[in-house]
Structure 1
Amino acid sequence: MAFNLVNSELRNWQSRKEWFFNRDHTDTYELWYEGRYKRAEVWQKKIMGDLIQLDPRVKTLLEFGCGTTRFTRWWHNINIEASGGDISPFMLAQGRRLFNGDLVLADSHHMPFKDNTFDALAFITTFEYYRDPVQVIREAARVARHSIAFGMMNRNSPKIVRRRVQQFFGKNPFYVTATFYTPATLTSLIHKALQGRDYTIEWKCTGLPKWFPVQEWKQPYGDFFGLLVKFK
């Protein structure tokens, strides 16, 4: 049954300051990936696909922080049945028009699903905004049977300096509440959250300059990294 997530005249949600609760930003989100970020998206999907396919048990996946479902729509290309969840009604309102699968409006800190509902959980450029990342990882490990996949903006990137300078001058609202991680710092959080669990971790980076001879590598540098937690 079709339904409206938000009033068409509503511009902000609950007076929240985060960019994903402001329609001046969310209404144009899809355009980013059709323009200057198109090449980056291709490589991001390449490494996320390579990582998730390291676990052939994964047939169903929940992407939390799915936004407009940009990645959620893509998982079927590698034969994974995806669903999405997000806390922003503005993002999900767009996702509902673009995606035919299941979507839920919810907080990732308290996922409204039973244990082991999905084969995998995925977070694509959304984990950076979580208030309590350890709690989110534990929720993901509860809901996912086999794997957790992270696609992250990398702290080890020269673009971090540019973003913070823009933010200082009020020119970039997208990262005001973001915490940037490296493969090492994210791994440390995972170990803290998953004490007592048996798992392996694989990761790789991309987002390297176009002129660089390789575009994905196992060094902790680049604008983006993917990381897979695989439960044994």
Structure 2
Amino acid sequence: MLIFKNERDYGSIASHMNPARPWAPRSMDQEMSRLRAHLGVDSQGVPYLRPKPRGVQQYSLSEEVTVDWSDFLHLAERGLPHGPNGVRDLEAALALVRGRPFGGAGTHSWAAPIAQTMISRIVDTAHAVAMLRCRDEVLDIDAARAAITIGLDTEPTAEVLYRDWMRVEHRAGNVAALRSVIDQVRQMASDWEFDHIQDDTELLITRLTTGRGTVQGL
């Protein structure tokens, strides 16, 4: 929170850490002191979590404290405009992903919008890699599958990735795998109690299972 919501003041942090019973000033000071000790000091010997001067409402962190989300964005934004030539940057971005951001935000309501933004960017990047790795100039079916796996681990209901997966297996000529993906997307919809899968997904299933169209044209 200190990184992603650095504008939050002392009282706001105390409230968000326990909305039902906001931390009292004494508890806040104790918890921050523990965190400061746990984090240690930076290369200059100054605590990563800077001591808060009297009268100042915001906490500050050392510039050496970073998150790999910034690295993800840098790699993804560098790779996306360059098509096949940018696919390795996109894959490097995905390699930083470790499941669902914030564990899906959990009980921390402040993190929910940030987590959703992260999930959307990860899914978009996984989609881009999957489609690029089906192109002749950088064809790599296993890499396409790996990107889809990372995306679905992050957002298991992302039908765009199931559609990508169908295209990948169609490109690979793997009919059994294609049928398996179709079964999985239908099972996903049932598990999540969706009324039905998306129209785009149904249309793609029809096209791929009746032999109409190519990967590039779908």
Q: Give the TM-score normalised by structure 2.
A: 0.25
- Give TM-score, length-normalised by structure 1: 0.24
Which has the larger Rg?
2
